[in-house]
Amino acid sequence: MNVIDQARQAYAPTQVAVRTAQSIEVQLISQITARIRRAQSSQPVNFPALTSALHDNRRMWYTMAADVADKDNALPRELRAQLFYLAEFTDHHSKRVLKGEADANALIDINTAVMRGLNAQGPA
C-alpha cells in the first residue's frame, strides 16, 4: 500500500451500522425461526436441532413475556396482553411439538408475524 492509499484509508468516512433494539430483536427472531424451520424440514426431522431451537425460542418468549408484564413497559396495554398470550401459547405448543403431537408450523407463523410487525413499525 502506498502513501496515497494510506491517506485515503485514514481519512475515508467510517461507516458504522447503527443497530437498534428493534433490529436486534428481528435478527434474533429470524435466526431462531430459521433454525426451527431447518430442523423440522429435514427428513427425518432433526430432533436434537429442533429441541435446541425450540428451547431458544421458548427462552426468547419467556424474556418477552417478562418484559411486557413489567408495569413500566411503554407498549399499549392490549398489545402487551396479546404478546403475553403468545408467549403462553408458544410454551404450550412447544411442549406438544416435543411430544410429537404437533408440528412447529404455528410457532414459525407466530414468529414471522411478529417480525413483520416489528419491521412495519420502522426503527425505534
- 86 assigned to some structural domain: yes
Q: How far apart are CA 80 and CA 88, in angstroms?
A: 13
**Do 80 and 49 meet the contact criterion of CB atoms below 8 Å apart?**
no
Does any domain span residue 89? yes
> Model confidence over 1-36: pLDDT tens digits?
666 666 666 666 665 566 787 888 999 999 999 999
Q: Count how many domains the chain has.
A: 1
The type of residue at 36 is I
The rounded distance, in Å, linking the Cα atoms of 118 and 124 is: 9
Domain coverage including residue 66 = 19-121
Q: What is the CA radius of gyration of the chain?
A: 20
**Which three cell numbers mark 35?**
433454525
pTM for the full predicted model: 0.80
